[in-house]
């Protein structure tokens, strides 16, 4: 197999010194967030889809971004009848109790970079990976060379969805590009695995080699006292190729396992002690440029990794790139419980070639919880949303899709679906520039998923799905 090049810098690099989209709130008090009025996007309006879809996929609704959230939309998390959408300027809470008519409940302006989100009951964890002058929501951006700059995790109380409250901030080395919610064993604590990367000798708070993650312990009765309790090194002998941290870590807490997508490496971990994860296997793939994310099957026997070739900004769904780069790689987990082994089975890449002006590559997705079956829904930026059957891990195939035309026919611009997740009968897609999309899959092969109720969903914290479970 031909080796793949190191990906070029992303159009939204995590170590950017200053962000044009950052908004400072003059005179903001410490740990204060600016609560904005719900945007006009939630007003009643006739909906006409502009997407091309397969016969078994219907575009139900779209909520455009407001002017205040004019920067990139990022990840999604869900609790009850609400979806929380991250944005480089903060986050948005949507009421999705009526999926055909989602409504904006509140918007919180709190810039800090990617803004990945995880939710746990009334707590929201928010990633900050662009350096700010302090941990205040209104603090201006500062260069990464500032030793007093803040990056890390912000914690919000969202018990009142119309009026979220900023609770605390926890600084972490290299900030937080993504975060993973990990339930504690005692019912009194939970943990946040903080993934970050791209160290430099010139960054005082992000020194190389940075082959580690940060672990934040959150006391559930006092989340304001959350703190970093460890920063375990996952690659004591150094990672493969360009590894200098992890991009995503997905935990399957009910099976005490986790999978890490760590730039140049895919890893499997034992998290039976969630405060002390242990790496149990490491794999590389010469076709992978950037190990980005991971998802387990419900039986925990298979894991799908994604390759973000080009950092998300490249047009890689082209015939010249081929079907094995910028794709998913599927591994089965063999060996023993004490010594598991990842075994490669096959690749999946969307078969729908895209234009040279469309950024397109494997990105965030989730299982469709069909009992005893393996189906996946996934974002591909301007490649749209794909519905994948990987019941045969060696021969996965697309069985449905949602795909818009290029944002710009003449030049390559960043856009498309950042994340697409199944939640209680619908797929919710966070489009970088066009807002929140709601999609319905009408394929009989996935209909049984509607009998699996979901009370909470986080991209990097997989539950075990059981029919009728509450």
The model's pLDDT over 416-470, given as tens digits with 9 standing for 90+, comes to: 999 999 999 999 999 999 999 999 999 999 999 999 999 999 999 999 998 764 4
Asked whether residue 462 is domain-assigned, the answer is no
DSSP summary character for residue 395: S
Asked whether residue 15 is domain-assigned, the answer is no
How much is the pLDDT for 22?
A: 29
Phi-psi region of 241 (alpha: psi -120 to 50; beta: other; left: phi over 0): left
Rounded CA-CA distance 144/202 in Å is 8
For residue 20, pLDDT over 80 is answered with no
How much is the pLDDT for 44?
A: 53
Confidence band for 13, pLDDT divided at 50, 70 and 90: very low
Phi-psi region of 424 (alpha: psi -120 to 50; beta: other; left: phi over 0): left
Percent of the chain with pLDDT over 90: 87
> Based on the structure, what is the number of domains in the chain?
1
Confidence band for 10, pLDDT divided at 50, 70 and 90: very low
- Edge-first strand listing for the sheet containing 385-389: 51-53, 397-404, 385-389, 375-379, 365-368
How much is the pLDDT for 47?
A: 85
Contact 69, 174 (CB under 8 A): no
How much is the pLDDT for 15?
A: 35
Give per-residue pLDDT as tens, 110-155: 999 999 999 999 999 999 999 999 999 999 999 999 999 999 999 9
Rounded CA-CA distance 422/438 in Å is 10
Asked whether residue 430 is domain-assigned, the answer is yes
Asked whether residue 244 is domain-assigned, the answer is yes
Q: What is the dihedral of CA 179, 184, 188, 191, to 10 degrees?
A: -20
Contact 41, 104 (CB under 8 A): yes
How much is the pLDDT for 37?
A: 66
As a 3-state breakdown, the chain gives helix, strand, coil percent values, each rounded to 5, of 5, 40, 55
Asked whether residue 258 is domain-assigned, the answer is yes
How much is the pLDDT for 12?
A: 35
How much is the pLDDT for 45?
A: 58
Asked whether residue 300 is domain-assigned, the answer is yes
Rounded CA-CA distance 413/280 in Å is 40
Give per-residue pLDDT as tens, 326-358: 999 999 999 998 999 999 999 999 999 999 999
Domain that holds residue 399: 34-457
H helices, E strands: number in the chain: 0, 31
Give per-residue pLDDT as tens, 44-65: 556 889 999 999 999 999 999 9
CATH value at residue 151 = 2.130.10.10
Rounded CA-CA distance 81/366 in Å is 18
List the Cα angle 67/107/190 in 5-degree steps.
140
Q: Is the pTM of this model over 0.85?
A: yes
Contact 423, 393 (CB under 8 A): no
End-to-end CA distance of the chain: 46
Asked whether residue 47 is domain-assigned, the answer is yes
How much is the pLDDT for 2?
A: 33
For residue 307, pLDDT over 90 is answered with yes
Q: Do β-strands 435-441 and 375-379 pair in parallel, antiparallel, or remain unpaired?
A: unpaired
Asked whether residue 26 is domain-assigned, the answer is no
| Cβ-based burial of 148 (10 A; exposed 0-12, middle 13-18, buried ≥19) | exposed
For residue 187, pLDDT over 60 is answered with yes
Nearest to 443 by CA among 406, 382, 399: 399
Q: Which two tokens stand for residue 219?
A: 């006391």
């Amino acid at each position: 197999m031909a080796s793949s090049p190191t990906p070029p810098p992303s159009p939204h690099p995590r170590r950017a010194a200053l962000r044009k989209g950052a908004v400072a709130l003059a005179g903001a008090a410490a740990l204060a967030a600016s609560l904005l009025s719900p945007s006009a996007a939630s007003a009643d309006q006739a909906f006409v889809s502009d997407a091309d879809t397969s016969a078994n996929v219907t575009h139900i609704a779209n909520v455009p971004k407001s002017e205040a959230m004019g920067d990139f939309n990022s990840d999604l998390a869900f609790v009850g009848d609400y979806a929380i959408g991250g944005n480089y300027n903060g986050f948005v809470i949507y009421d999705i109790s009526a999926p055909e008519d989602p409504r904006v409940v509140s918007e919180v302006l709190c810039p800090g970079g990617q803004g990945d989100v995880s939710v746990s009951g009334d707590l929201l964890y928010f990633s900050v990976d662009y350096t700010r002058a302090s941990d205040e929501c209104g603090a201006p951006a500062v260069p990464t060379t500032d030793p007093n700059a803040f990056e890390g995790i912000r914690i919000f109380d969202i018990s009142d969805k119309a009026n979220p409250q900023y609770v605390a901030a926890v600084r972490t080395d290299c900030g937080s590009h993504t975060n993973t919610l990990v339930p504690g064993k005692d019912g009194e604590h939970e943990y946040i695995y903080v993934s970050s990367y791209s160290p430099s000798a010139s960054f005082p708070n992000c020194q190389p080699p940075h082959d580690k993650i940060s672990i934040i312990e959150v006391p559930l009765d006092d989340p304001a006292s959350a703190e970093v309790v460890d920063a375990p090194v996952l690659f004591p002998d150094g990672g493969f190729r360009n590894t200098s941290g992890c991009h995503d870590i997905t935990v399957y807490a009910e099976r005490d396992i986790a999978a890490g997508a760590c730039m140049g490496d895919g890893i499997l971990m034992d998290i039976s002690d969630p405060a002390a994860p242990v790496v149990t296997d490491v794999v590389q793939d010469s076709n992978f440029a950037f190990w980005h994310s991971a998802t387990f099957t419900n039986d925990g026997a298979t894991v799908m990794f994604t390759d973000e070739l080009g950092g998300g900004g490249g047009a890689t769904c082209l015939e010249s790139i081929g079907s094995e780069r910028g794709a998913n790689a599927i591994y089965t987990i063999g060996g023993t419980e004490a010594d598991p082994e990842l075994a490669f089975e096959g690749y999946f890449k969307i078969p729908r070639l895209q234009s040279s002006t469309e950024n397109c590559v494997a990105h965030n997705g989730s299982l469709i919880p069909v009992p005893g079956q393996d189906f996946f829904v996934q974002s591909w930026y301007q490649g749209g949303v794909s519905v994948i059957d990987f019941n045969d891990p060696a021969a996965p195939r697309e069985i449905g899709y949602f795909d818009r035309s290029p944002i710009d026919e003449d030049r390559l611009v960043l856009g498309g679906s950042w994340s697409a997740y199944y939640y209680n009968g619908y797929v919710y897609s966070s489009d970088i520039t066009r807002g929140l999309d709601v999609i319905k899959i009408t394929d009989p092969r996935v209909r049984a998923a509607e009998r699996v109720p979901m009370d909470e969903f986080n991209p990097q914290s997989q539950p075990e799905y059981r029919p009728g479970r509450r």
